[in-house]
Amino acid sequence: MPQSLTVRVRRPDGRPIRIWVPVLPVVLVFLPVVVLAVLVGAVACLVYHVSVVRALATGWRLVAALPGTRFDLEQGRTAVLVSIR
């Protein structure tokens, strides 16, 4: 599971902003929403005849593969870098 998320924004004036976000406290805060999303996903799996266990396992594999991922977005003189560790 990812441990931290680093967001770096380079503003048009050239000054960067860095934000470090620990993932675990954010997940704990949003845990009721996550549980609701998993329940809705399980119902959708049942409606579309998809294995719920297999869907949950695939979702967990996606979350486990996130560390080391980087997103770089650039628009004009503004740039955003998101790094997941």
The mean per-residue pLDDT over the stretch 9-13 comes to 89
The strands making up 78-84's β-sheet, listed across from edge to edge, are 16-22, 4-10, 78-84, 70-75
Give tens-digit pLDDT for 18-37: 999 999 999 999 999 999 99
Give tens-digit pLDDT for 46-80: 999 999 999 999 999 999 999 999 999 998 888 99
